[in-house]
Structure 1
Amino acid sequence: MPDDGASQSTNVWPMPKFYFRVKWDSNEMAFQEVSGLDIQSEEIKYRHGNSKDFSVIKMPGMKKFGNVTMKKGVFKGDNKFWDWLVQIKMNTIKRVPVTISLLDEEGNDTMVWELTNAWPTKISSTDLKSEGNEVAIETIEIVHEGLKITNG
């Protein structure tokens, strides 16, 4: 009798990446793509002059967070990106928390990325082609001051 998969553990398969939710402050927004969820620890190289080893010591330094890029379809009357970007004035901007959640089949959080003090640094409008047959996509790039990753 063929195996129907009923006896398999639910932890056997990795999660698909196509079912996710983005909350930005208190609003939920639908995106086609999210990228740039990374953290890097810069290295500090050090060697003192009387060391008998002719090599450097490498230590962890400051953490560096990549910019997060999000893409979504253009909808009539939807100016949320532009409204947020226009608020930037002489070193003042509304910084908001952004939460990106990878969801399971029931819509529950399985992995969550929380961005601290996020704000827009770049918005790209769609390209326009008279012979194109694609959906118009706009892109927002946001910077943030911290990334916390949790498993649901």
Structure 2
Amino acid sequence: MPTPATPQPGAPVDPYRAYHFKLLINGITNGHFTEVSGLEMTIGRLSYREAGNDRVRSVPGQVDYAPVTLHFGLTPSRELWDWVHGAATGAVSRRNVSVVLLDAAGTAEVLRWNLINAWPMRWRGAHLHTLSQEIAIVALTLAYEGLELEDGSAAASTTA
């Protein structure tokens, strides 16, 4: 018998909010990020035709993970810059990065995407303008080798 917290088929379920999240790099909360974009996985399709048959069949092929771009406010911290600069000078440091989605109150973890063996592939500086009153936002794009999804209860038990 399902627990009361388990959604029932056909029962309405409120979707998660996209504005409460944090980023962990090697298990440590890192910076205040304003946007994460590009969480995407594509499974290639390989087509083949069986001998003596005119039907074309397909099977799953190679998995491709799209780069993820992180936007964050520019601060005196050099940690992310040093990571990018290391990769630019040939000292690539692969790190496990987690994008953690929080509940509507911003207090409890509900989902976690783990980017396995991520490394910086692009850095874009803040748009500077003398008449602007906006926060200076920097963008960092990461390549990675694998993507895992954990629900909040599993992720909370692994970090406790």
How many percent identity over aligned positions?
A: 29
Q: What's the counterpart of residue 68 of structure 1?
A: 68
Indicate conservation of the 8 Å contact 1:115/1:146, yes or no: yes
Structure having the higher helix fraction is 2
The structural deviation recorded for 1:10 is 9.8
Across the aligned residues of Structure 1 and Structure 2, the Cα RMSD in angstroms comes to 1.9
Indicate conservation of the 8 Å contact 2:125/2:139, yes or no: yes
Aligned positions of 1:1-152 closer than 5 A: 12-29=13-30, 30-51=32-53, 53=54, 55-75=55-75, 77-88=76-87, 89-90=89-90, 92-104=91-103, 105=105, 107-152=107-152
Q: Which runs of 5+ in 2 are unaligned?
A: 8-12, 153-160
Output the CA distance in 2 between the equivalents of 1:71 and 1:45: 38
Indicate conservation of the 8 Å contact 2:21/2:106, yes or no: no
- TM-score when normalising by structure 2: 0.80
Compare CA radii of gyration and give the structure with the larger one: 1
Output the CA distance in 2 between the equivalents of 1:83 and 1:106: 29
Indicate conservation of the 8 Å contact 1:124/1:139, yes or no: yes
Q: Residue 135 of structure 2 aligns to a residue in which SS?
A: coil
Q: Which runs of 4+ in 1 moved over 2 A?
A: 9-12
> Partner letter of residue 27 of structure 1?
I
Q: 1:128 to 1:10 in 2, by over 3 A?
A: farther
Output the CA distance in 2 between the equivalents of 1:57 and 1:10: 38
The structural deviation recorded for 1:109 is 1.4
> Partner letter of residue 79 of structure 1?
R
